[in-house]
Structure 1
Amino acid sequence: MNKSVPLGADLSRALFAADLVEGLSAAPKATPPKWFYDAEGSRLFGEITRLPEYYPTRTETALLRRIGPEIARAVGPDRSVVEFGSGSADKAALLLAALNRPAGYVCVEIDPGAARATAAEVARRFPGLPTRGVAGDFTNLKAQPAAAHATHRLGFFPGSTIGNFDPPEAATLLSDMREHLGRGAQLLLGVDLVKDAATLEAAYDDAAGVTAAFNLNLLVRANRELGAGFDLDAFAHEARWNAEASRIEMHLRALQPTSATIDGESFRFAPGETIHTESSYKYTPEGVAALAERGGWRTKQLWTDPKGWFALALLGA
């Protein structure tokens, strides 16, 4: 398995600054959600996954545990697993334990610390399994060499992270994953399904304020790494369901006139103006199949939990 070029500190800063300048120059202002995940962002997201309101992680984990043998039969033996945006080793460990003779494991994670920690934990749980953590941006797979291995690969993209991308971008990402994984590849994709607005909004605006801290940490990171000078008290977390677009939106809303500066570019915020920091699209099972097809995959099998809240789809190239 080849290791891709990691994101060095200088390159990471430059990309972070460029994305924020571009996003804050747009109308309306928006930033890519991948920059949530510095060390503190990764820690806070770990807390979010354990909150009572945040159903996706526990629902997907229970589903993965229940259908593990079915996945193994559908996937076949000797697959090398490539996980995109791992965050932690827990779901990968469930998948690897279910598979028949897994041949290796690679995690691609933008936070170098999380990439190392996930790979180390998988190696601890599965002694002798070839394991590698790659510090890289899975949204730019064309810039990374494929993780070459003698066996066919099984991509693993859990957590409904695909929902963070607008549908055309999601289809492009799935197409890039298909090319990256190579001939004969399969992809196990986690997708959050449409449900009532109250459940969705509570999952992204918890009573303990952990999601708010996670959202605001983007500005903390910009201050620390870019010297942006955001007044943290001038912004508040907001989550809302956009039924027309079938997505939850997270925003940082300006409470008063304020400004910030990134690489010499000044950005002003009027009271009530927001930075759109994340979208989380929710799909129907039919929508999952259509998205997969636009990305060049076919849906081999789709499983849901008993409530129909979450889906795991096995795609074939």
Structure 2
Amino acid sequence: MNLDDGQTSTRTPAPGSLTTLLTAEDLRQSLAEDARTGLSASPKWLPPKYFYDQRGSELFEEITRLPEYYPTRTERALLTEYAREIAESSDAEVLLELGSGSSEKTRLLLDALAQAGRLTTYVPVDVSASALTQAMEALAEERPGLALHGVVADFDQHLSQLPTPGRRLIALLGSTLGNYDRPGRERFLRSVAAAMQPGEGLLLGLDLVKDTGQLVAAYDDAAGVTAEFNLNALHVLNRSLGADFDADGFRHLARWNTAEERIEMRLVAQDSARVELRELDLVIKFDEGEELLTELSCKFRRSSAASELAAAGFRDARWWTDPDEAYALVLARR
């Protein structure tokens, strides 16, 4: 997500097309509604998608290169080794990627699908028009024969409106599914299934349950990059909604929730604080030590994930994991 985007209409980079289902004003309104609801709740919360303004996106790219942060490099290694098997199993003509960002890892799938001889189109979907444009321009130079159809959209809202220019493989990588709690995952997977044609494939990247120390370290790195990334959410609120958060008055916390098998990222108020969000005509008070939940990162077990997929209407799931079983790629059919 790039909350600095000013994109409000369809435009066409050469070659390829970019369709806008989510405007900058839509995004700001969504932030306003979520901020009003989440900050007024007890306990307080914010959705993690608002981390990703330009600075947040830069920080996340830095996080993916940290020694503690294993998910990105493990997923890339799995794609390097198994993309050809995935492509052949999917029988897809179109790769549609939810939350595509820079489409960096996606190139491994595009290459494998092209080698399988069926790939015609790549459909990257992201809330950031600028990220889509940059990725599509690079891909157009690299793959002049590939049709590109980018969509500026929120996949929590626009799944049924995404294009179907052929049999699709829908990819949701980066363990993004883990940002939903169990009820949220159930709703989301059902929505994905409802938007798919019979026989189409869903490819998920899933971070698996493992040593607690390794998990916490991935979200609380020694260099403090994840802490800065977490605190950036307050800067987004300050800039977008006229808030007056003092980011120095909060500290980053990453905690493993054993019962729910998830990492919870929080911001903790160092002292009592009064925060005004002028554009919402809203005043929020924090007690000393009060926590603001900013991200869930649920971890998965094979049995429970398989059950969730089956309950949502998916079948024939195939799994690929690394030797340490730290991470998995899962391909299931609608």
User: TM-score band, normalised by the shorter chain?
Assistant: over 0.9
Moved more, 125-134 or 248-257: 125-134
Contact 1:86-1:109 at 8 Å conserved across structures: yes
Counterpart mapping for 1:140-179 below 5 A: 140-142=157-159, 145-149=161-165, 151-179=166-194
Contact 2:17-2:148 at 8 Å conserved across structures: no
Which contiguous aligned blocks of 4+ residues in structure 1 show a shift greater than 6 angstroms?
none
Distance in 2 separating the partners of 1:120 and 1:187: 26
Partner of 2:9: none
Aligned counterpart for 2:319 among listed residues 280, 294, 302: 302
1:9-51 deviation per Cα after TM superposition (whole angstroms, max 9, x unaligned):
2222111111111111111101111111112111111111111
Percent identity over paired residues: 44
Contact 2:78-2:321 at 8 Å conserved across structures: yes
Distance in 2 separating the partners of 1:21 and 1:125: 44
Aligned counterpart for 1:66 among listed residues 77, 81, 84: 81
Aligned counterpart for 1:79 among listed residues 83, 87, 93: 93
Counterpart mapping for 1:82-161 below 5 A: 82-99=96-113, 100=116, 101-142=118-159, 145-149=161-165, 151-161=166-176
Partner of 2:3: none
Partner of 1:233: 248
Moved more, 252-261 or 45-54: 252-261
Partner of 1:55: 70
The DSSP-based 3-state class of the residue aligned with 1:211 is: helix
Q: CA deviation at 1:253?
A: 0.5
1:124-156 deviation per Cα after TM superposition (whole angstroms, max 9, x unaligned):
3322211122221111125x513131x211100
Counterpart mapping for 1:285-296 below 5 A: 285-296=302-313
Moved more, 300-309 or 120-129: 120-129
Contact 1:36-1:218 at 8 Å conserved across structures: yes
**Aligned residue pairs, count:** 314
Counterpart mapping for 1:264-283 below 5 A: 264-283=281-300
What root-mean-square deviation, in Å, do the aligned CA atoms of Structure 1 and Structure 2 show?
A: 1.6
Which structure 2 residue ranges, 5 or more long, are not aligned? 1-15
Which structure 1 residue ranges, 5 or more long, are not aligned? none
- The letter for the 1-side match of 2:95 is V
Q: CA deviation at 1:313?
A: 0.4
Partner of 1:199: 214
